[in-house]
Amino acid sequence: MSKYILIPDSFKGSLSSEEICGILGREIRTLEPEAEICSIPVADGGEGTVDAFLAALGGCEPQLPSHAGANLRIGNDNAFLIQVISQCLPYIGYPRSLNALRCVNDAAQAAR
């Protein structure tokens, strides 16, 4: 049995890193059904990365809405920012993730 580690970045404007992991995993499974696959979606330092770091730091909630708002203004949507936070959840924990989600939702409401 082979082992695969998938660590893709997003394809800006078309696929998120999570979607790419899903596609690659499915294709590997068609060729090798018993393969062991570890998927680790990542960001390369582009949009959404600052939000992830601020959420991970904790105590940065005053800055997070302005960064989330800036991301919304450059074309990222609320769903994208929620995906960024979701990817950080195992590392930053549930309470900080909830705080980050609240900040992103506040920024999205303010942008309307």
Averaged pLDDT for residues 7-27: 81
Nearest of 16, 73, 14, 68 to residue 41 by alpha carbon: 16
Question: pLDDT category, 9, cuts 50, 70, 90?
Answer: confident
**pLDDT surpasses 90 at 30:** yes
- Residue 46 has a pLDDT of 64
At 26 the pLDDT is 93
Q: How far is the C-alpha of 39 from the C-alpha of 8, rounded, in Å? A: 8
Q: Specify the pLDDT at position 50.
A: 62
The tens digit of pLDDT for each residue in 61-103 reads 777 788 888 888 888 888 888 888 888 888 778 788 888 888 8
> How does DSSP assign 58-71, residue by residue?
SS-TTTHHHHHHHH
Number of H helices, E strands in the chain: 5, 2
14-18, 51-55, 80-84: least confident range: 51-55
